[in-house]
Amino acid sequence: MYKEKINAYIESHRQEIINDTSLLCQINSVKMPAKDGEPYGPGVARCLNVALDMAQLYGFPVADYDGYVGCVDFGTDLPRHLDILAHLDIVPAGEGWTQTEAFIPLEKDGKLYGRGTSDDKGPAVAALYAMRAVKELGIPLAKNVRLILGTDEECGSSDIAYYYSKEAPAPMTFSPDASYPVVNVEKGGLHGHFTARFTPSDALPRLVSIQAGTKLNVVPGKAVAMVEGMDLSVLEDKAKQVEEKTGVHFEWGQEGEVQAITAVGVGAHASKPEDGNNAITGLLTLLAALPFAPCGQMEKLAQVAALFPHGDVNGTTLGIDLEDEISGRLTLAFSMLAVDASGLEGQFDSRVPVCGNRENVLEVVRGKMEGKGITLLSDSMRPAHHVPADSDFVRTLLDAYESYTGRKGECLSMGGGTYVHGLENGVAFGAAMPETDNHMHGADEFALIDELLLSAKIFAQVIVDLCS
């Protein structure tokens, strides 16, 4: 019902959807230090305000939950029934953009490039236009749909924790922050944080420091080490060998007596480490091959490198390579590392299948690290999330997907954690087709414009089917 009208409405608003997505993606909404009324900094606050102004312009009542979350309601007089949970915060721009700059959206060859176009500003706009289509087509609803615009999804979802301290979840929730058809299983997680100490040494050649990684949930595309007393010809010779082995490229820069080594890999989302090429593990491979003066620092770094060998994206060496039929195989990304003369601190992001638990994951990692004199600070895991595939809610989503795509709908598992992870009846739904690699969290992130429009149509149909 209403399919032809919904199709025609969304197609007639194609350029508006592109323009509104571009408007939001021009704003650098990376989390920054809090200010009064801006819990995640001025960029995030500005993006939320622009989005709420946009929704008000289209005739929807809006609410601002103290800068943590913004909400757009179809009708505040209707009973709560369906929430659509999207987010406006983003990961940092990062390196390696070739099509455009991160905050200068570009439409090219059917794609809209820019940070946030696919994660998650474009899908948020698609959801807004789905609500707008239902409203302006005059389709009557008996129950409310609320678009929730979060602002801290990339850094721990404290925004949603705040929101749900004020409001109860709707009976049904979907988040357009993944891919189609329906993701009803999200892996659990171990966010590993570890440290080690050692006695400083001035013996040359020596490693001065390492600074690598930007965020826990990003496979690093760049990692920098500072070394002193090492002949450049030795560095270049070893780097060539390591590059042939790992695919990680190395660049050089002199800073006084210190040589900067920059490892350049390929960034990716930590839920899919196989899509990237980890600059940290590539850098450690090079450092392990260099003739540094013996010291506690290099001994400990070699032990870290042994636990996280380049290319091991499943925790095999750590002894936690698990897999089950419901949620698939464990993945692991070594995402952050800092080293100085007296200690090191690292973090890794592991996405754990339903069969994983404290005993067969966390304690196994702790034991492996303790055996090498490394302290695992982490003491808890995030549980997996599962919504039954045969529920009426999931079936309705799949029916809409099948109707508008002509494809078979099915339920999927994912490693990435979305906003719905802690919601009893929450799933991820869209906004990219299964085969689309939109470089989420990487350089040249894009959304396929036809997929944004398709998502708006599907979301509109879901609203009609669930809320009429």
DSSP 8-state code for residue 205? S
Catalytic residue, chosen from 120, 153, 154, 177, is 153
**211 phi and psi, to 5 degrees?**
-130, 120
Residue 16 a catalytic site member: no
Question: What does the angle CA 88 – CA 90 – CA 94 come to, to the nearest 5 degrees?
Answer: 160
β-pair partners for 205? none
Residue 153 a catalytic site member: yes
What is the CB neighbour count within 10 angstroms for residue 370? 11
CA distance 89 to 148: 13
**Pairing mode, if any, of strands 431-432 and 411-414?**
unpaired
What is the CB neighbour count within 10 angstroms for residue 409? 17
- The number of CA neighbours under 13 Å toward the Cβ of 87 is 29
CB 224 within 8 A of CB 212: yes
CA distance 164 to 331: 30
Catalytic residue, chosen from 20, 38, 89, 349, is 89
DSSP 8-state code for residue 356? -
Length in residues, the chain: 468
- 185: helix, strand or coil: strand
- 95: helix, strand or coil: coil
Kindly list the distances between the CA atom of residue 106 and the CA atoms of 83, 94, 102, 151, 432, in Å, as whole numbers in the listed order.
30, 17, 9, 23, 18
CB 207 within 8 A of CB 296: no
b/e sequence 379-399, b meaning 16+ C-beta within 10 Å: eebbbbbebeeeeebbebbbe
Question: What does the angle CA 295 – CA 299 – CA 304 come to, to the nearest 5 degrees?
Answer: 145
What are the start-end ranges of the E strands in 68-219?
69-73, 80-87, 106-108, 111-113, 144-150, 172-175, 178-179, 182-186, 188-197, 206-212, 218-219
Question: What does the angle CA 160 – CA 164 – CA 169 come to, to the nearest 5 degrees?
Answer: 110
Give the tokens for residue 275: 């899509």
Q: Which residues are catalytically annotated?
A: 89, 153
